[in-house]
Amino acid sequence: MIKPAGEIILKIDDLKKTFDGLEVLKGISLTVHSGEVICIIGPSGSGKSTLLRCVNLLETPDSHCIFYHGEDILDKSFNVSAYRKKAGMVFQSFNLFPLKTALENVTMGPVTLNKLSKHAAKEEGTQLLNQVGLGDKLDAYPHTLSGGQQQRVAIARALAMHPELLLFDEPTSALDPEMIGEVLNVIRDLARSGMTMLVVTHEMGFAREVSDRIVFMDNGLIVEESDPETFFTAPETDRAREFLSKIIRHGPSEERGGEEL
């Protein structure tokens, strides 16, 4: 999938993150263009979640190193709440509000943060839940929904904020195998629609199919970065080869995931 490079949305320049003296990210540099789908893969503990959490300012990077449309996201004058609306995140564990219905989960942000009227938010929320195949679950509470359905509500909720960039942190890792496909289909549709996305995943077939670029992380660093065909057919580093062979040989249990290559 070759797309013309859009404008630069996000520039990460030598990102380091230390927790209690432990350097978890050791200098990550990554540029994200509008419309790009970047899949981030790598072993557990390599820093993938920390990278996404720094991008979304759920963690604070050690220095000023992330720029959104050229603006330093750690600058005092940077509007963090506006930024968070533009950079939506979808978590492995869905993180829905348990006492709100599917539709309320989706409309809450637009009504409270974007000051959209309840009526307009409901209309759009209904349309978004239809889009993710949950038009018949508007009034359902999260505990009555399957994991795959809950994750699709979470995606609709992220979309309701009209994000410019979506961050997915292993969106299918908590799901039973039969539900992985329905969530990947929704993400695949978003990729086709031109949404800019950073997707941490262990679904190798999916990563190969939808991504414009694969970023392979190990031990707090980007070890390899290339187009998916190159990465999956001719990885350059021993570390990537080893990771891929483990995933292919042992399947999902090795690093969690589902699809075979």
Binding site for Mg ion (CB under 5 A): 48-49
Q: Minimum distance between the CB of residue 28 and Mg ion, rounded to whole angstroms? A: 14
Q: Minimum distance between the CB of residue 49 and Mg ion, rounded to whole angstroms? A: 3
**Calpha distance 249→158 (Å, rounded):** 35
Interface residue with ligand ADP, options 24, 145, 184, 195 (CB under 6 A): 24
Interface residue with ligand ADP, options 9, 32, 39, 50 (CB under 6 A): 50
**Calpha distance 137→141 (Å, rounded):** 9
Q: Determine if 97 is a binding residue for ligand ADP (CB under 6 A).
A: no
Residue 36: which residues within 8 A CB-CB, separation 6 or more?
3, 5, 6, 196, 197, 212, 213
First to last CA, the chain: 17
Interface mask toward ligand ADP for 110-149; x: CB under 6 A: ----------------------------------------
Query: Which of ligand ADP, Mg ion, none has residue 46 at its interface (CB below 5 to 8 Å by kind)?
Result: ligand ADP
Residue 245: which residues within 8 A CB-CB, separation 6 or more?
none
Q: Minimum distance between the CB of residue 156 and Mg ion, rounded to whole angstroms? A: 23
Query: Which of ligand ADP, Mg ion, none has residue 45 at its interface (CB below 5 to 8 Å by kind)?
Result: ligand ADP
Give Cα 2 distance to the centre of its chain.
21
**Calpha distance 210→213 (Å, rounded):** 9
Cα distances (angstroms) measured from residue 17 to each of 23, 63, 72, 79: 6, 8, 16, 22
Contact range with ligand ADP by CB under 6 A, out of 46-54, 120-128, 205-213, 230-238: 46-54
Nearer to Mg ion, 49 or 151 (CB): 49
Binding region for ligand ADP (CB under 6 A): 19, 24, 44-50
